[in-house]
Amino acid sequence: MEFTVSELARRTRLTVRTLHHYDRIGLVRPSRRSAGGYRLYAARDLGRLEQVLFFRELGFALEDIRKIMNARAFERQRALAAQRALLVEKAGRVRRMIETIDQTLAALTRGEDPVPDEKEFDMFGDFEPKQYEDEVKQRWGNTDAYRESQRRTKQYGPAQWKAIKAEAETITRELADRMAEGTTPDAPAALALAERHRLHMDRWFYPVSHAMHVKLAEMYVSDPRFTATYDDVRPGLARYIHDAIQANAKQNKE
């Protein structure tokens, strides 16, 4: 089954202009064109479009979605599982917000002036990206990477920070799983995860070449705070990630 751009627009409730834009930027392209030059979308194109819309619902920018979905290590099933987890979390947070609003409206109707307690603020998220801001500024404040990170992150809201945290935790858990299974750091599965680790930072913070990734990996084993963060997940994980990053960089010499 194939769809013209007009049929796809009606089916998805997107505009033809939006679909043309997705085609131009390489996000969702039709599988082929008719003899008359019209775009024809196959079932797999609809699957890709659906995934794009899931990312959009989670607050991802189009350029970030394009990078994620065009990456070599991208796997649709794994991405869908991650999207589902984020959407379930988002749905739970929205549900709690609605319940809190209903309770507040009821109290106001009774003439009361309720004061939210600490637990009610948990629904807005507790990830604090600025906890090491002074140290980071002192060490890297004059670098292009720092300036680019500042430019990007000042645009992020709670949804983006939640997504960043969830994605990082997923990559770390999967690396820990590969380590537990006895997968060597230079095995294809570990290399793919090391590349996802690099692309995660490249997408959210600043451009990360393989050479820069190696330098970052050195901190994971030289800075006790980084080491503890990973080794708390699984003892020895910091060294395992370091070695996987080193091996991935060798495979992708720039």
Please list the pLDDT of the chain residue by residue as tens digits (254 residues). 889 999 999 988 889 999 999 999 999 999 999 988 899 999 999 999 998 988 888 777 788 788 888 877 777 787 788 778 877 777 777 777 777 777 777 877 777 665 555 444 454 454 444 444 444 444 454 567 667 777 887 888 877 888 888 888 899 999 999 998 899 999 999 999 999 999 998 888 888 889 888 988 888 888 777 788 888 888 899 999 999 999 999 988 74
Per-position DSSP letters for 121-141, written without gaps between them: GGGG----TTTTHHHHHHHHT
The H-or-E segment that residue 25 falls in is none
What integer pLDDT is reported at residue 127 of this predicted model?
43
Do the Cβ atoms of 205 and 194 come closer than 8 Å?
Answer: no
Domains of the chain: 3-69 (1.10.1660.10), 127-251 (1.10.490.50)
Buried b (16+ CB within 10 A) or exposed e, 41-78: beeebbebbebbebbeebbbeeebbbebbebeeeeeee
Q: How many residues does the chain have?
A: 254
pTM for this prediction: 0.49
Q: Which tokens is 152 given? A: 């990007």
